[in-house]
Amino acid sequence: MATMRGLIALSVMAASAVAPAAPATYKIDPDHTYPSFEADHMGLSTFRGKFNKAAGRVVIDRSAATGSVEVAVDLASIDFGHDELNQWATSAEFFDVAKHPQAIYKGRLEGFSKGVPTRVAGELTLHGVTRPVPLRIDAFRCKPHPVYKREVCGADAQGSFQRDLFGLDSGKDYGFGMDVNLRIQIEAIQAE
């Protein structure tokens, strides 16, 4: 009888060891997530800026090598470090935040290596236009949060797009390049 109980216990342990882990959901930490960008200024210099407000979530299943990301960026939170430029960018002349208050990025995590994604196949919706914008993930790491006692993940990703393809062609006639380089650092904490 003891042998039978031992075999049952062993089979339960073995079954739980091979059972796939469920996908984990992480809420983006708005205090540690600031999408930033670089854009040409008449071929003379590079303007850099960031967005101070972003929200969203990341879902990842390391054992299945799958996952997704969804980020909503508040376009009114643009910060060039120049108040007049910030006001212009949010006006109807550029982002027109009255009509298009957010940029939305939705993507699928791909290229897993040792449980870590290396790229995102996603789409950016900006100024009412949705287009593919893939991202390369340069760093991705998860560990226990020392305060919240839940897992927290962080990543650094980058990509680029042509802003005129989103209807944002201001300055094109004056020789402004249309390339925008994105740098996105993100931290997200596992949902309870």
H or E segment and range at residue 12: helix 2-18
Q: What is the pLDDT of residues 72-115, one digit of tens each?
A: 999 999 999 999 999 999 999 999 999 999 999 999 999 999 99
Please, what is the average pLDDT of the chain? Answer: 90
pLDDT, position 19: 41
Containing structural domain, residue 125? 21-190
Q: Are 57 and 26 in contact (CB under 8 A)?
A: yes
- Extract the tokens encoding 39: 């854009």
List Cβ neighbours of 137 (8 Å cut-off, separation of 6 or more): 111, 116, 117, 118, 119, 120, 155, 156, 157
Structural domain includes residue 9:
no
Structural domain includes residue 13:
no
pLDDT, position 130: 98
Structural domain includes residue 14:
no
pLDDT, position 192: 83
pLDDT band at 6 (very low <50, low <70, confident <90, very high): very low
For 40-52, what is the mean pLDDT?
A: 94
Structural domain includes residue 164:
yes
Structural domain includes residue 186:
yes
pLDDT, position 22: 85
- Specify the pTM: 0.86
- Tell which wins on pLDDT, 148 or 18: 148
Residue 178: CATH number of its domain: 2.40.128.110
How many Cβ atoms are within 10 Å of 71's Cβ, its own excluded?
24
- Which one, of 103, 186, 192, 104, lies nearest residue 148 by Cα? 192
For 131-149, what is the mean pLDDT?
A: 96
Structural domain includes residue 177:
yes
Structural domain includes residue 120:
yes
Q: What is the pLDDT of residues 16-31, one digit of tens each?
A: 334 446 899 999 999 9
Structural domain includes residue 86:
yes
- Tell which wins on pLDDT, 192 or 70: 70
pLDDT, position 162: 98
Q: What is the pLDDT of residues 52-68, one digit of tens each?
A: 999 999 999 999 999 99
Domain count, the chain: 1
